[in-house]
Every structure is written in structure tokens, then in C-alpha cells.
Amino acid sequence: MRVEVVAIGTELLLGQIHDTNSAWIGEQLALVGLDSFFQTKVGDNRARMVEVLSDALDRSDAVICCGGLGPTQDDLTRTAIAEVMGVPLRPDEEMEERIISMFSGRSRRMPANNLRQAELPEGARFIDEQPGTAPGLVCPLMWPRSGSGDGAATEKVIYAVPGVPWEMKEMMLGTVLPDLQARAGIDAVIRSRTLRTWGESESGLAELLAERIEELDRVGNPTIAFLASGMEGLKVRMTAKCPTAEEADSLLDEEEERLRARLGALVFGVDDDTMESVVLEMLRSRGLTLASAESLTGGMVGSRLCDVPGASDVYLGGVIGYAPEVKQRLLGVPEGPVVTEQAALAMAHGARVATGADVAVSTTGVAGPDSSEGRPPGTVCLAVALGDPERGGVSESVEVRLPGRRQQVREFSVITVLGLLRRNLLEWSG
């Protein structure tokens, strides 16, 4: 079964919004075993939307429209779908009442335009999940339409989901994907699990796993894929297809054990784990607190840590010492060059003392685009200080060359210093 994705919105064509929805939908389709060969973007123009949907139906069995379900005049997805189906739009009283109830429950005045969202192409149905005011649609139709003279018609389907990512995802997972699997006659269960790694390149991981990848190419199940994800780490995704969920999970358990045996400490987490969530939990389990001292990352380490719920019982705070004199005055960095391992180590110890934390990390370096202190862009010095050095504490500083432009260097610095902390925590017995 071929499924096509159509992203709707002039703002997508103008680059005002990045189309992450289509990428996510494409990934989910692949995970459940559905083919998707085309993704299209179209602006908020009814005639062009009808043209794009018609072309999509000519070459695919199902179409997922994302966006254009709002209450304003340029939200034309419902109208375009009804025109493609050759049916009228009709108001649905039950949906009208639901939308009115949503607004009243939030003590907000409902603009009359919102009732446009309760219009339904004849023969279609609303998607059960409705986290926002925009209901999604399931629209079965025969294509080509009767009288077109283009040969025998077959049953196809158009789905419409909102452009708001969290609303779209709830509808996709709750209704669209299961409905597509049922229409495609897919009765197998497809499960995926992702190992998060850091400390090796994508090609390096492929080399470490080359023998296993060759074995799986012959067997065909499960499969392995790599995905470089910036400061989220390098992902190794395992996918298994089995008659039951239990069998798929068992196959993934076995494969995870094999991969961990080959990759060792490179694996820092699974699925939704992040480096920051992992190190925070390691610190919490040891009863340790954490502080940070940042120069080139400018607070990014602290921000990532604070994104993790419950971080406040571990992370005490940090010092952003961007200028050399701030590093010297607040963190005790000696006068002289500040892009050195010695400066990074002084920053980490300074942050630990200033906050009273048990552990501290630090970042200093040259993000670019220009050189500094005679050091080329991408030169980064990182340090970790665990405990008081006079009472058995340990510390480590490293200098690395990170790839990419300014923002990439800063992002890679975040996961690299947290990865350095993780490694030291694994080794430290203090």
C-alpha cells in the first residue's frame, strides 16, 4: 500500500515554518511497514490543493493531509477534500456542540468562525482523537471519480490532520496508522527500539557493527539503521517484524544485548533517553549535586539540564563566564589564555566551590567563525571536577576539535562534556 503525505500551508513554502511533520509521518509509516514514495508541500490555494490531492490519488492508495484545518478563511483543507471527493460539505451538529463545549470549558469566547471546523465532507467521518479544536478527518472515496473516463475506480482514502505537531501525532497514532494497517491487511507487529550512543562517528559505528549488519542482511529480521542527531547523539535503531508484540519485543531484547556487547559504554541510553537525563539520574542515584561553568556554550548546558523534569534536586546552577575577566573574577581562572585544558579545569573547580555542588562541568573554546588566541574554530576544552581534590576527588580536562559551524560546535560541546561526566561517573568510586 502506497501512502503519500501532503503538507499544507503557504508558510511552509516561504520557509517561515520548517516541515518537521512530514518527516515524522514518513518515519512512522516506515515503522509500520507502509510504503511512502512522495511528500508534497502546497500553499493555501484551493485550486492548487485540489490539483495536488488529485495527483497524489493517481499514484498512491492513501493520502495524509497535514494542516489547513483551522477556523480562518485560508484554512481550505476541508473544502479541497470535498471538491476532490465530489461531495458537499455539511455541518455536523454533534461536532459543533463539542467545539462550543471546549471553549466554554476554558472560559473563553468562541469566535463564530470556529464552527467551520465542524463541517464534514459527505461520506467522511471525524477522527476520534481531538486534543484541540480542529477535528481530523477520514475520507474514503472511489478514485477516479465516476464519469472521469480514466478506467475502473478503486477505493482510496484521504486523511486530514492538524498542523500542530502534538495534535497531529495523537491522531496519527490513535487512528490514522491503525486504519492504514487494517486497510493494507498488515497483521504483523512492527516494533522499533533506538540505542543512543556518543563517542564514535557514524562510520565508526558501522565499522564496529559491520559483521552483525552482514548477518542481519542475510536474515532480514530485525534490521539496523543509523541516524546522526546532533546533540541528541548517534542513534542505532533496531526494527523487528513479528506476528505478535511479545515476539517482536523478545527479538529486540536479544538484538539489544548483542549490540551492547559490541558497543559497550558508547551506549548511553534507549529511545527517549538523553545524555542530560542519563547523567542527572546517575548523579541522583549517588546522592550528588551538579553545577556548570560555561563560556562558548553560553548557558546551553544548564538549559538542557533544566529541560529534564526533576532536575532541580540535582542541578544547583551555573556560571556563564563568557569574558576572560569574568572567568578570572568569579571562577578563579588564572590570567592568560582561556582556551586551555587548565582554564577549563579551573572553571569546573570554581563552579563547584561557588555553588557548593559535589560535581561540576565546564566548557571553553572557539565556536567560530574566527580564530581566537591563535586557536582555530572548533577547538574546545572541557572539564569535569568530581568532589574535593584534597579528599579523594578526581578531575579530568580534555581538548577536542569539533566539526561544523558555530551553532553545531556549541551543541556538540554540550553532549560531549556531559558524556565526559558520564564516563567519569562510571569510573569514579568516590
Sign for the pseudo-dihedral over CA of 279, 401, 397, 292: negative
Q: How far, in Å, CA of 300 to CA of 362, rounded?
A: 11
Q: Rounded to whole angstroms, what are the CA distances from 162 to 72, 102, 171, 251?
A: 13, 17, 9, 35
Q: How far, in Å, CA of 142 to CA of 153, rounded?
A: 6
Provide long-range contacts, Cβ within 8 A and 24+ apart, for 88-92: 88/121, 88/122, 89/119, 89/120, 89/121, 89/122, 90/119, 90/120, 90/121, 90/122, 91/115, 91/118, 91/119, 91/120, 92/118, 92/119, 92/120, 92/126
For residues 245 and 251, the answer to whether their CB atoms sit within 8 Å is: no
Task: Pick out the chain residues at pLDDT < 70.
Answer: 106-107, 147-150, 429-430
Sign for the pseudo-dihedral over CA of 101, 103, 104, 109: negative
- Nearest C-alpha neighbor of 30 from the set 191, 140, 151: 191
Q: Which three cell numbers stand for residue 316?
A: 544547583
pTM: 0.77
The confidence score (pLDDT) of residue 301 equals 98
The confidence score (pLDDT) of residue 107 equals 64
The confidence score (pLDDT) of residue 429 equals 63
The confidence score (pLDDT) of residue 112 equals 79
Residue 11, strand partner residues: none
Q: Which helix (H) or strand (E) holds 5?
A: strand 3-8
Domains of the chain: 3-184 (3.40.980.10), 189-270 (3.30.70.2860), 275-427 (3.90.950.20)
For the CA atoms of 258, 261, 264, 268, the dihedral, rounded to the nearest 10 degrees, stands at: 30
